[in-house]
Amino acid sequence: MHESGIVEELVHELEKVARANGGTRVVKVEVGIGELAGFSREHFEEHFRVAAAGSIADGAALEMRTTGGDALTLEGVEVEDS
């Protein structure tokens, strides 16, 4: 459940970033996943797809890279405007 909450908050932030930049849809998300963050790439992607379903990030391309430490970081967002 902890992982779901983290990813749901990330999707919420994506929606805020997109709207603040005039976007109507998030088309690409870049994240860094710390080696000690408790997420595998597959696990994170599964949680992301569930959390993003029905949001403006639904269907967004997801790019992930492994980083040091234990943080999950949002590194980039590409939005599409109307």
Give the tens place of pLDDT for each residue, 4-28. Answer: 899 999 999 999 999 998 999 999 9
Q: Which residues contact 41 (CB under 8 A, 6 or more apart)?
A: 33, 64, 66
Domains, the chain, ranges and CATH?
Answer: 2-81 (3.30.2320.50)
Give the tens place of pLDDT for each residue, 29-73. Answer: 999 999 999 888 999 999 999 999 999 999 999 999 999 999 999
In the chain, which ranges are continuous DSSP H helix?
2-20, 41-52
